[in-house]
Amino acid sequence: MSRIPKRLKAAAAAATATALVALPLTLMSTGASAAPTHVDNPYAGATQYVNPTWSASVEAAAGRAGDATLAAKMRAIKNQPTAVWMDRISAIAGNADGNGLKYHLDQALAQKQGSTPIVFNVVIYDLPGRDCYALASNGELPATDAGMARYKSEYIDPIAALLGDPKYQDIRISATIEPDSLPNLITNSSEAACQQAAPYYREGVKYALDKLHAIPNVYTYIDAAHGGWLGWPSNAAPAAKLFADVARTTSAGLASVDGFVTNTANSTPLVEPFLTSPTLQVGGNPVKSSSFYEWNDDFDEIDWTAHLHSLLVAEGFPASTGMLIDTSRNGWGGSARPTAASTSTTLNTYVDQSRVDKRVHRGAWCNPLGAGIGERPQATPSGYASSHLDAFVWIKPPGESDGASSEIPNDQGKRFDRMCDPTFVSPKLANQLTGATPNAPLAGQWFEAQFRTLVQNAYPVISTTNPTTPPPTTSSTRRTAGTRASPAPSASPTRVAQRSAAGA
Ligand code: BGC
């Protein structure tokens, strides 16, 4: 059996044996009050928590769909599991935007079916100076010592107290740790706001890991951006090193991390089925040298997770480190999806016609128009051995905005980021229009127009005849990991400033 508890693995095997021998006989025989084992992959053999509030939003949207097929598709996914975001201190107790953490934990217990484990996905997202390279998800806590103190005592401590309540010990709690934060320190350290936030991001992530890892039924997954952000070797290697450096500052060291989650709130495809070799020559140049890929070999999240995993292991993380991919909005189906590789002999035309990712630029993170829902959540997806996937998850609840497309006053610290404005030509996107969906509300708010498009453009297509069985994935065209070539020295950009949507 490979379900060896990771943190036990990381500890000395001898100590484990001693501890087991020392267990009181009653506990060993009944197991009744014993804390559940910390397994290698919490998603394996488990169901996942369905947020009733998200389901109700989907049902309401279906009621307003005005189109029977669309409504049926919405209803077919309304009981999919989505993560619950603790996006500010008031989210813990509950606020106008949603129920509190205790409500969700109680609901998760109620949803648990017999002895089948259940995973509750929660997002830890309130660092001081949050979203330092963008404005849409700036937060409530300033990047100051006072902000850090509040993060610890008013945010992480109460969350850890609730998650650590023995009442919830049978819930496998999967915590996505601070989307975009450490990745921003890799690519955006020239930005004053990121420089100011950097020490607090490191200290905050360390603090969160220490508190959460101490709870045996909590599983920690650090956010690791996406392939279109960190895929370049000059970004990827420093990112893996930073993750290891921060983890090493915790009291459990690398063992405080169960895994990494990529593509949080972003729309980088799982697989680019018609661009399977970054080195394929078109018009005398490799496809990876196209304007869209900018010499980045990691065209999709399968590439990125495999690449990152190998770097993490080189940094000392165990091979059992698991990867999650947020597939909530990376489907790219609909009529614009190509069905074959292009026949053009002009490089950029070939790439643009072949890619399923229809963004104007891989840095376009805000409510990208044309994106669809991706793979349905599932444990240990097969066909991607090099990626070491624990699961596909829906961390960003489809239908929740990435940011407002105009100024909207609020008390959450969120600001107007022009990357969310479809009329804006952005220098960060090679001077192209952002491609953002118009009329977007504040980040995190229900955005029905976007939800409709996400459902319509879902890939795999949402089946209305057998909603509980996800359609098969296209894994046959995968290239194997290890074929990644180094970028040509003359043309490789240095760290390209990108950001994901997470906070998105
Ligand atoms: C927002 C959060 C929200 C989350 C999930 C983020 O972009 O800043 O407030 O909870 O998305 O929708």
**Ligand 1 nearest-atom number relative to CA 501:** 7
Nearest CA to ligand 1 atom 3: 444
Q: Map residue 420 onto helix, strand or coil.
A: helix
Taking a C-beta distance cutoff of 8 angstroms, is the pair 315, 251 a contact? no
Residues 6+ apart with CB under 8 A from 294: 362, 493, 496
157 in active site: no
Pocket perturbation via mutation, ligand 1, pick of 53, 88, 180, 400 by most ligand atoms within 8 A of CB = 400
Ligand 1 atom closest to Cα of residue 503: 7
Rounded Cα distance between 502 and 504, Å, is 4
Structure-model confidence comparison of residues 492 and 392, the more confident one = 392
- The residue length of the chain stands at 504
> Is the pLDDT reported for residue 415 higher than 80?
yes
Each residue of 208-262: pLDDT tens digit? 999 999 999 999 999 999 999 999 999 999 999 999 999 999 999 999 999 999 9
Cα separation values, 221 from 4, 78, 318, 438, Å: 18, 25, 14, 32
- pLDDT digit string (tens) for 265-299? 999 999 999 999 999 999 999 999 999 999 999 99
Q: Please give the Cα distance from 370 to 263 (Å, whole number).
A: 17
Residue whose CA is at the smallest distance from ligand 1 atom 8: 137
Q: Is the pLDDT of residue 495 over 90?
A: no
Query: How far is the CA of 351 from the CAs of 264, 271, 278, 362, 371, in angstroms?
Result: 25, 14, 10, 13, 18
Q: Which sign does the torsion angle of CA 174, 202, 398, 361 carry?
A: negative
**CA-closest residue to ligand 1 atom 6:** 503
Note the pLDDT of residue 417: 96
CB-based burial, 440-469: b 16+ in 10 Å, e otherwise: bbbbbbbbebbbbbbbbbbbbebbbeebee
Q: Looking at residues 131-155, what average pLDDT do you find?
A: 97
Mean predicted confidence (pLDDT) in 467-472: 43
Q: Ligand 1 in contact with 398 (CB < 6 A)?
A: no
For residues 45-70, average pLDDT: 98
Task: Read off the pLDDT of each residue in 414-433 and give the average, rounded to a whole number.
Answer: 97
Give the model confidence (pLDDT) of 89-128 as tens digits: 999 999 999 999 999 999 999 999 999 999 999 999 999 9
CA distances from 335 to 143, 339, 459 (A): 45, 10, 11
Atom 4 of ligand 1: nearest residue by CA position = 444
Query: Any catalytic annotation for residue 402?
Result: yes
> What confidence score (pLDDT) does residue 466 get?
63
Residue type (1 letter), 49 = Y
Q: What is the pLDDT of residue 3?
A: 28
The structure tokens listed for 489 are: 């020295």
Spot the catalytic one: 131, 180, 258, 357.
180
Q: Number of C-alpha atoms within 13 angstroms, CB side, residue 482?
A: 4
- Asked if the model's pLDDT at residue 12 lies above 80, the reply is no
Q: Average per-residue pLDDT in the chain?
A: 89
User: Does the C-beta of 258 come closer than 6 Å to ligand 1?
Assistant: no
For residue range 342-378, what is the model confidence (pLDDT) as tens digits?
999 999 999 999 999 999 999 999 999 999 999 999 9
Alpha-carbon gap, residue 394 to 400, rounded angstroms: 12
Residue 328 pLDDT class (50, 70, 90 cuts) = very high
DSSP track, 340-370: S----SSHHHHHHHH-S---SSTT--SSBTT
Going by alpha carbons, the residue nearest to atom 2 of ligand 1 is 444
Poorest-confidence range of 185-199, 364-378, 465-479? Answer: 465-479
- The Å distance, Cα 289 to ligand 1 centre, comes to 34
Pocket lining: 417 vs ligand 1, CB cutoff 6 Å = no
Distances from the Cα of 422 to the Cα of 364, 404, 426, angstroms? 11, 11, 10
Check: CB of residue 111 under 8 Å from CB of residue 101.
no
Indicate yes or no: pTM above 0.95: no
